Amino acid sequence: MDSLIIISTGSLVAICGSILGCFLILRKMAMVSDAISHAVLPGIVIAFMLGSDLDSVWMLVGAGLVGVLTTFLIEFFHQKGKLQTDAAIGVTFTWLFAIGVILVTYYAGDAHIDQDCVLYGEIAYTPINPIILKNGTVLGPKALIVLGAVLLIIVLIVSLFYKEFFLTTFDPSFALATGLSASLWHYVLMSLVSVTTVASFESVGAILVVAFLIVPPASAYLLTTRLSHMILLSCCFGVLSAIFGYYLAYAIDGSIAGAMATVAGVIFGVVFAIAKYLEKRRAISNLEQMTLETSK
Amino acid sequence: MNLETLIEFFSLQNPNVRYVVLGSVLLSVSSAIVGCFTFLKKKALLGDVVSHAVLPGICISFMVSGTKDPFLLIIGAFLSGWLSIIILDYIVANSKIKEDTATGLSLSVFFGVGILLLTVIQHSGNAAQSGLDSFLFGKAAALVGKDLLAFSIIASIILIVVYLFYKEFELVCFDQEYARSIGVPVKRIELLLTSITVLAVVTGIQAVGVVLMSAMLITPAAAGKFWTNKLSVMLLLASLFGAFSGIAGAYISYTAPSMPTGPWIVVVLSFIAILSFFFAPEKGILIKLFKQRKIRLQLLEENLLKSFYKIGEINADFTAARSNEELIEIRRFSTAQFKEGLSRLSNQGFIKKTNGTWSLTNDGLQKGMRVVKLHRLWELYLTKYLRIAPDHVHEDADTIEHVITPEIEERLEKLLEYPEADPHSSNIPYN
């Protein structure tokens, strides 16, 4: 039962990450998600300090705001300060993260939070942290419920506004011409990324969320050119990483989240090799075709 | 903060303080220098990748050797950091995956493997492993003599390499094509640059930890870039910022022992950077906004004066009083702009207000006349010399009339032989 809960939690993170990650990769924003996942730290700490018991909904809202703030700062330094994007990202998130670490150290005694948990989480604790209603009904593991809700929100927003996301991703100038605001959808996407990060930071940690946001979509990107196929494939890779990662961690007694990221990396390696092989074979058959035609 | 602690701190009598201060300064300066080059190559996030990617190397070298000897761990870290960059470059070169995605991919997978290995070591019950995770979060406040020795050796290596290959690095950062054409081995120089970046990161993360290491590389360089365009000055500024933050971080954690050194170094560094972004002369955000405002106001004022002049042309009476409605009719302004422009003009003595109406002063008349003259001269120039149709020249003249200098004005007049009228047969005024 526990293993089922852990694998489901991992899969939920993977599916949330895959859907958003595909857009991030296509918009060349992969590193902005890395920045957001680190920058939400001060937001999380402040939320911990304000409420003695962590109120999930407010945490998610707060995280969304911090994510938007991070995105805004990056854009601001880039556009007003003419600072190159990579440096704008680097300066912004390290600064916010440093403030977060200082807050964690300062309030270490008061809040139930430490650096290890933020950086690489512990998904193994998911089953022993259930939500229990006032009348005593056990709803189920908290991480699972929160992530489920987040997935629902993501699926709802992305499917309702698929056209908007699609257009602003592939053809920003056309989108602008039809009256869509590219920056609005940029910020919506980034808030969803922040919410996902916070929802999963307790289970997989801030840095491994990035593995789920980037690695499965990148693998899928190698195999297809259609966005809908890419999202589906990416979800499959993500879920596979969660399943095999769990058993890898179980076998060698290590961090489950770390193992899931490792498996995601292995899957990418295999897909990369297959894609290269296919490409080579296509090139050879093209060549053969050409020589056949010329010899006729 | 009291004076006694300050003196005690800066006298460096306490060996512990000495280690922390010297260690932090060495690290900050060497990573700031390396960071300038990665920044200029637009690969600022390279440090981020390497700092996450060293973890598996550290774990494997611990698993193999069974000890926490800093030199052995550094070798392991160096190799895996280096490998992550090689893989990143390979993916970008051999697939359609873009650089940012490959960066995040390499970073997160290496870190995932690292976390997996680290937890395996921790669960193995090996007593020697405790403290291995200081690589994750840094332990600047707990530096000892042996660490300092390792830092000094590595910092010297970095400084010597940068000194020896300064010209080559500069060329590779600014103009690869040119570098290649004069026979600089670009690939090998890039490899060397990658190697010293990895070296700087590997030592640095022991002080500030994985995540904050990228700040040690990027932030001083980004701050320095706002003050200068010269590489040598940028390197100097970045190292100064680094050194200052190193000392400040060490001092803060000395006065408040619960405060971590590494994050404070980064916060001080970021503070310097953000101040630079806003207040640097020439490139700062504030000076740019100020310049934009100045231009906007100049346009507004000159356009208003032009309106006064044009109303005056109708009855050849330029200094009569005009109502707001009359002015708006000539050229539309937003209400706020209209009010702001009029009050600025009357403060400068170009117009004066009587009973709610405005009239041009003599200075205002001269200025308005000049703008109109430039507008019409330019229209004539465009139609006569560039053969542009008369109905297409107004927009362009509307922009250029504000920036023509007296020298160009004179040459235009001579070239066009002091014309009487513009392409629309409006009179060109001379004073």
Could you tell me how many CB contacts below 8 A there are between chain A and chain B? 206
Strand partners, B353: B358
**pTM to 2 decimals?**
0.82
Q: Which of B238, B249, B210 is nearest to B17 (CA)?
A: B249
Long-range residue pairs from A3-9, CB within 8 A, at least 24 positions apart, any chain: A3/A246, A3/A250, A5/A126, A5/A127, A5/A141, A5/A144, A6/A123, A6/A124, A6/A126, A6/A127, A6/A246, A6/A256, A7/A242, A7/A243, A7/A246, A8/A144, A9/A123, A9/A126, A9/A141, A9/A143, A9/A144, A9/A147, A9/A203
Range list of H helices, B95-209? 99-123, 134-137, 145-164, 166-174, 176-181, 186-208
Nearest to A49 by CA among A91, A109, A89, A4: A109
When pLDDT is averaged across residues B387-397 and rounded to a whole number, the result is 87
The count of C-alpha atoms lying within 13 angstroms of the C-alpha of B7, restricted to the half-sphere facing its C-beta, is 3
CB pair distance less than 8 Å for A211 and B109: yes
**Among the partner residues A25, A86, A95, nearest to B270 by beta-carbon distance:** A95
Residue in A20, A95, A253 to test binding to B, most B beta-carbons within 10 Å? A95
Chain A CB contacts of B111 below 8 Å: 207-208, 211, 261
Tokens encoding A17: 């990450």
Query: Which chain A residue's Cα is nearest to B87?
Result: A269
CB-CB contact of A235 with A14 (8 Å): yes
Taking only the tens of pLDDT, chain A with its 296 residues reads 678 888 888 899 999 999 999 999 998 888 888 888 888 888 877 777 776 555 567 777 777 788 889 989 998 998 888 888 889 999 999 999 888 888 877 776 554 555 555 555 556 566 656 655 555 555 567 778 888 888 999 999 999 999 888 888 888 888 888 888 888 888 889 889 888 888 887 677 766 788 999 999 999 999 998 999 999 999 999 999 999 999 998 899 888 888 999 999 999 999 999 999 988 888 888 888 888 777 76
Pick B258 or B193 by higher pLDDT. Answer: B193
Q: Which pLDDT score, from 0 to 100, does residue A197 have? A: 84
**Which residue matches tokens 């408040």?**
B256
Specify the pLDDT at position B238.
95
Looking at residue B360, its pLDDT comes to 87
CA A42 vs. chain centroid, Å, equals 19
Between vectors from CA B95 to CA A13 and to CA A210, what angle results, nearest 5°? 20
Lowest mean pLDDT among B136-145, B260-269, B304-313: B136-145
Q: In the Cβ-directed half-sphere of A42, how many Cα atoms lie within 13 Å? A: 20
Q: What is the pLDDT of residue A129?
A: 62
Chain B contacts of A211, Cβ < 8 Å?
108-109, 111-112
Long-range contacts of A245-250 (CB under 8 A, 24+ apart): A245/A10, A246/A3, A246/A6, A246/A7, A246/A10, A248/B116, A249/B116, A250/A3
Cα B108 from Cα B206, distance rounded (Å): 19
Task: Report chain A residues whose CB lies below 8 A from the CB of B266.
Answer: 94-95, 98
Does A249 sit within 8 Å of B116, measured CB to CB?
Answer: yes
What is the distance in angstroms between the Cα of B324 and the nearest Cα belonging to chain A? 36
CA distance A25 to A154: 17
**pLDDT tops 80 at residue B129:** no
- d(CA B205, CA B52) in angstroms, rounded, equals 9
Give the CA distances from residue A35 to residues A74, A87, A93, A103, A198, in Å, rounded to whole numbers and listed in that order: 9, 11, 5, 18, 13
Residue B201 contacts residue B135 (beta carbons within 8 Å): no
- Percent over 70 (pLDDT), chain B: 96
Whether residues B270 and A261 touch (CB distance < 8 A) is answered with no
Kindly report the backbone phi and psi dihedral angles of residue B43, in degrees, each rounded to the nearest multiple of 5, phi listed first: -125, 45
**pLDDT band, residue B217 (cuts 50/70/90):** very high
Most confident among B29-38, B143-152, B354-363, B386-395 (mean pLDDT)? B29-38
DSSP letters along B356-406, please?
Answer: TEEEE-HHHHHHHHHHHHHHHHHHHHHHHHS---GGGSHHHHHHHTTT--H
What is the C-alpha end-to-end distance of chain B, expressed in Å?
68
Q: Are B121 and B63 in contact (CB under 8 A)?
A: yes
- In this predicted model, what pLDDT tens digit does every residue of B224-244 receive, in sequence order? 999 999 999 999 999 999 999
> Nearest-CA distance from A209 to chain B in Å?
9
Chain B neighbors of A218, CB-CB under 8 A: 97, 101-102, 105
Q: What's residue A124's pLDDT?
A: 59
Q: How far is CA B90 from CA B85, B93, B98, B99, in A?
A: 8, 5, 11, 10
Nearest by CB: B112 against A95, A102, A258: A258
pLDDT, tens digit, 9 for 90 and up, residues B24-64: 888 889 999 999 999 998 888 888 899 889 989 989 998 88
- Nearest CA-CA distance, residue B206 and chain A, Å: 15
Of A25, A34, A80, which is closest to B107 when you measure between CB atoms? Answer: A34
Confidence class for position B332, pLDDT limits 50, 70, 90: confident
d(CA A170, CA B374): 45
**Cα distance from B128 to chain A (closest Cα, Å)?**
18
Phi, psi of B420 (to 5 degrees): -85, -35
Contact check, Cβ <8 Å, A89/B45: yes
Which residue of A lies nearest to B276 if distances are taken between CA atoms?
A81
A33 secondary structure, DSSP code: H
pLDDT in tens, B56-105: 998 999 888 877 777 788 889 899 999 999 999 999 999 899 999 999 99
Contacts of B425 (CB under 8 A, 6+ apart): none
Identify the bridge partners of residue A132 per DSSP, sorted by sequence position. A138
Structure tokens at B165: 């290959």
Q: Which chain B residue's Cα is nearest to A96?
A: B267
Closest CA to A244 of A30, A3, A55, A2: A3
User: Which pLDDT value is given to residue B21?
Assistant: 85
Q: Which residues pair with B427 in a beta bridge?
A: B421
% of chain B with per-residue pLDDT over 90: 28
- Residues of chain B positioned with their CB less than 8 A from the CB of A261: 108-109, 111-113, 115-116
Taking residues B371-378, report their average pLDDT: 90
Predicted local distance difference test score (pLDDT) of residue B43: 86
How far apart CA B263 and CA B253 sit, in angstroms, is 10
Measure Cα distances from B124 to B57, B63, B117, B120, B137 in Å: 18, 10, 10, 6, 21
Q: How far apart are CA B51 and CA B197, in angstroms?
A: 10
| ipTM here | 0.88
Closest B-chain CA to A248: B116
Name the residue facing A119 among B136, B225, B266 (closest C-beta). B136
Residues in chain B: 431
Average confidence (pLDDT) over B146-175: 88
pLDDT band for B152, please (50, 70, 90 cuts).
confident
Q: Bigger pLDDT: B297 or B127?
A: B297
Beta-carbon neighbour count of residue A85 at 10 Å? 20
Considering CB atoms only, which of B108, B137, B267 is closest to A211? B108
What distance in Å separates residue B99's CA from the closest CA in chain A?
8
Q: Tell me which chain A residue has its CA closest to the CA of residue B116.
A: A258
B262: exposed, middle or buried (Cβ count in 10 Å: 0-12, 13-18, 19+): buried
- B42 contacts A86? CB cut-off 8 A: yes
